Amino acid sequence: MSESGNKSVEQLEREAEFLKKEIENVDEVIHSEEKIKHDLEKREHEVEEEARREREKHDHDHDHHVRITMVVNGQPVVIEAEEKEKLAEVRRRALHETQNLAQPPENWEIKDEAGTVLDPEKHVGEYHFGKEVTLFLSLKAGAAG
């Protein structure tokens, strides 16, 4: 004889219905927990990806520093510049460090060793200097003759 031998058909059907609803509730909980797990896994992946990008960015910035010996009117000064920096900014820093402030920065031409004039609006990286380079800040000649 079964355990439910004393219960009526209606009671058994209500119990079955109740258990069915309980099972559905458990399924919902399981589904919800799985969704939470999925979201957490997704977030974990995003955080890991962000950490990787930050690490690469840091390494990239570190590797792309250029040591520029800027000769300001014959006086050398070393500027640690980043490749993404404009030459105009490097010029401003070099003039500030050597206290050559009597003339506006635009009056100083940036030249390489061969005397070629470089564009101050270009970024350091665009000239592919390598790790180290010597540049010259040459004051433009005044009105002559």
| Exposure b/e, 112-138, CB count within 10 A at least 16 = b | eeeeeebebeebbeebebeeebebbbb
- What whole-number distance in Å separates Cα of residue 70 and Cα of residue 76? 5
* Residue 11 near another protein by CB under 8 A: no
Q: Three-state DSSP class for 51?
A: helix
Cβ closest to another protein, residue 5 vs residue 142: 142
Site string for another protein, 86-105 (x = CB under 8 A): --------------x-xx--
- For residues 129 and 116, the answer to whether their CB atoms sit within 8 Å is no
- What whole-number distance in Å separates Cα of residue 83 and Cα of residue 60? 10
Applying CB under 8 A, the site for another protein has a residue count of 21
* Residue 134 near another protein by CB under 8 A: yes
Identify the residue among 74, 128, 130, 131 touching another protein (CB under 8 A): 74
* Residue 130 near another protein by CB under 8 A: no
Which positions lie near another protein, rule CB under 8 A?
A: 71-76, 100, 102-103, 113-115, 134, 136, 138-139, 141-145
